[in-house]
Amino acid sequence: MAITKGGLIKRGNKWYYRYCINGKNVYKPGTEDKKETQQIMQAEIAQANADGEIFTPSSITLEQLLNIWFDECVKDILRHGTRSDYLNAINNHIVPALGKKKIKDITIDDLQQYVDSKQKDYAASTLKAHFVVLNGSFKYAVYPKNYIKSNPMLYVTKKKINKNVDTFLDIVEDTNIKIITTEQYHKIIELNMNTMYYLPILISYHTGLRAGEVCGLQWCDIDFNDMSIRVNKSMFYNTELKQWELGRTKGGKPRTVNFGNTLMLALKAERKKQLQLKLILGQEYKSTCYTIEEDDGQKHIVVHNEKVDNSEDIEFICRKDDGEILTNQTLKYLAKKVKNKLDIDFNFHMLRHTHATILIENGAIMKDVQERLGHTDIRITMNTYSHVTKKMKQQTVDIFENAII
C-alpha cells in the first residue's frame, strides 16, 4: 500500500489536509491551527499505514450517537439525578447546536466553539455535564463502536477566564452557597407555623437533610429514644416515566442524624396530629403506598396517593393535611411564598447550607459535619463550606489576641 506525502490547504479561516492512498485522493477538514491540522493528518496517515487500509468513518449524526451512548452506557447504570443532568445537556443544548451534523464531520473547532459559547453563560459545575456527555459519547464511538478513528474531545479545553483584568474594580466576590440569617429563619417559621411547610423547614434546618430526603422520611425512620433519624432514601420525580419515586440518597449510603428537643417535640406533635386527622377524615384521608415496578430491566419504587393493586402502605412524616404526599415540587412553592410575603431570597436548599454553616461557625468537627450531611468525601464538605463568615474571621482575630496577652 502506497501513501504519498500529504499537503495542507487553507480555505477561509480553516486548514484542510489531503493525501493519496493507492491512487485514491483523500481530502478532509482540519482546524484553524495549521500545526494542529498537520499533526492530525500525519496521525491519520500513520494509522492507515499500520492498518493496511483506509478507515471509513460512520455517517451517523451526533444526535444518533448520543441516543446510542445514553441507552447503552447511561440509562441503566447511573442514578436518576445524573441521568437527568445528561438528558438536559443533550436535549436542550448539544442536539440543537450540533445534533444534525455527522460525527465524522464534527471538528475540534466545532466542539471548542460550542464549549466556549456555553462557558460564557453557565457555571463550571453545569458545563461539566456537557463535557462528560461529549467526551463519553465520542470515546464510545471510537471504541468499541469503531464509528470514528479518534476522539476530537481530547483536544477541547475549558478556557480559564480572567475576570479580574486591569483593576481591583473588576473583582466580584464569589459566594458558592447562600444561607439565611437566624432572624430570617424565625420569620419564615412564623409565616408557615400552621402550614404543611412547617415541619419540612424544621427538619432541614435542624438536620441538614436535602429536600428529597425530607420528603422521603417515614415514621419508621425515627428513633425517639435515641433521638435520631435514619436517612436511607430520597424522593424524586422520574422525568422519563413521569412519576414520583423513592431512590437512594445522593451519596448512596444510609446515615444516621441525631436531633435535639426542638425537633423531637415537633415530630411528636405531628404524629399525634396525623393520627387525629385519620380518625376525623376516615376514608377521605389519603392512604399513601408504593409499588415496585420494572421498566426496561430496571426496578422503580413508585409512590401513590391512594391504594393500588399489589401496593404496600407507606407512612410519610411530611404530608398534607389530607394525607397526600408532600413532594420536592411542593417545597418549591415555599420559595415563592417566602419571596412574596417576606421579600427574602430563599430556596429550600438554603436550610441545609445554613445548618452546616452554623455548625462550622460554632466549632463543629468537619468530619462530623461531613457524616451528618451525607457527603461521600470530606473534601466535598471542605470545598463547599470553604467560605469564611464574619463571625469566623473575628474568632481568628480573637485567638491571636488571646495568645499574645
pLDDT, one tens digit per residue, over 263-279 is: 999 999 999 999 999 99
Task: Give the confidence band of 2 by pLDDT, cuts at 50, 70, 90.
Answer: low
Average confidence (pLDDT) over 113-127: 84
Higher pLDDT, 360 or 383: 360
Strands (E), 93-143: none
Say how many C-beta atoms besides its own lie within 10 A of residue 315's C-beta.
16
The single-letter code of the amino acid at 295 is D
Average confidence (pLDDT) over 66-77: 88
Q: What is the pLDDT of residue 83?
A: 85
Q: Which of 36-40, 99-103, 116-120, 161-165 has the lowest mean pLDDT?
A: 161-165
* 25-41 as b/e: b if 16+ CB within 10 A: ebebbbbbeeeebbebb
Q: Which helix (H) or strand (E) holds 274?
A: helix 261-281
Q: What is the pLDDT of residue 78?
A: 77
Residue 54 has pLDDT above 60, yes or no: no
Query: Which architecture does CATH list for 182-384?
Result: Orthogonal Bundle (1.10)
pTM (2 d.p.)? 0.65
Residue 338 has pLDDT above 60, yes or no: yes
Q: Where are the domains of the chain?
A: 7-51, 62-155, 182-384
Fold of 62-155: DNA polymerase; domain 1 (1.10.150)
Task: Give the confidence band of 102 by pLDDT, cuts at 50, 70, 90.
Answer: very high
The per-residue pLDDT for range 317-329, each reduced to its tens digit, is 999 999 999 999 9
Strands (E), 354-403: none
Cell 445537556, residue located? 89
Please give the share of the chain, as a percent, with pLDDT higher than 90: 52
Q: What is the pLDDT of residue 173?
A: 40
Q: What is the pLDDT of residue 346?
A: 95
Task: Give the confidence band of 125 by pLDDT, cuts at 50, 70, 90.
Answer: confident
Cis peptide leading into residue 144 (ω within 30°): yes
Residue 65 has pLDDT above 50, yes or no: yes
